[in-house]
Copies of this chain bind each other. A is one copy, B any other.
Amino acid sequence: MIKQYTYNEIHIKDIFSRTEEKNEIAEVVTEIIATVRQKGDIALREYSLRFDGAALEDMEVSPEEMQKAYDAVDKEFISILEEAAEHIRGYHEKQKRSDTMYMPREGVILGQKITPLEKVGLYVPGGTANYPSTVLMNGIPAKIAGVKEIIMVTPAKGGKINTEVLAAAKIAGVDRIFKIGGAQAIAALAYGTETIPKVDKIVGPGNAFVAEAKKQVYGRVSIDMIAGPSEILVIADGQSEGAVVAADLLSQAEHDAMASAVLITDSKELAEAVSVCLEEQIPLLPRKDIARKSIDDNGKIILSESIEEAIEIANQIAPEHLELCVDNPFEYLAQIRHAGSIFLGRNAPEALGDYFSGTNHTLPTAGSARFASPLSVDDFIKKSSFTYYTKDALLKEAEKINTFAQREGLTAHGKSAMIRFEKEGEK
Chain A residues close to B by CB (< 8 Å): 76-77, 80-81, 83-84, 87, 90-91, 94-95, 100, 102, 104, 108-110, 112-113, 115, 117-118, 128-133, 164, 200-201, 215, 218-219, 221-222, 225-226, 241, 243-244, 247-248, 250-251, 253-255, 277, 281, 285-287, 291, 329-330, 333, 336-360, 364, 368-374, 376, 378, 382-391, 393-394, 397, 400-401, 403-405, 407-417, 419-420, 427
Contacts and interface: CB of A to CB of B under 8 A. Distances in A.
B410 A344 contact: no
A389 B340 contact: no
* Most chain B Cβ neighbours within 10 Å, of A76, A95, A353, A409: A409
A348 B419 contact: no
A415 B250 contact: yes
14 contacts: A77-B403, A84-B400, A118-B337, A200-B370, A244-B416, A251-B412, A251-B415, A254-B410, A254-B412, A341-B384, A351-B417, A357-B389, A359-B386, A364-B382
B341 A132 contact: no
Contact of A215 (B219, B397, B407, B411): B219
Contacts of A329: 388
Contacts of A372: 222, 382
Contact of A250 (B110, B349, B412): B412
In the complex this chain forms, how many copies of it are found? Answer: 2
Given A218-B218, A356-B401, A371-B222, A411 B287 contact: yes
Contacts of A132: 407-408
A285 to B, nearest CB: 5
A267 to B, nearest CB: 18
A343 to B, nearest CB: 5
B401 A201 contact: no
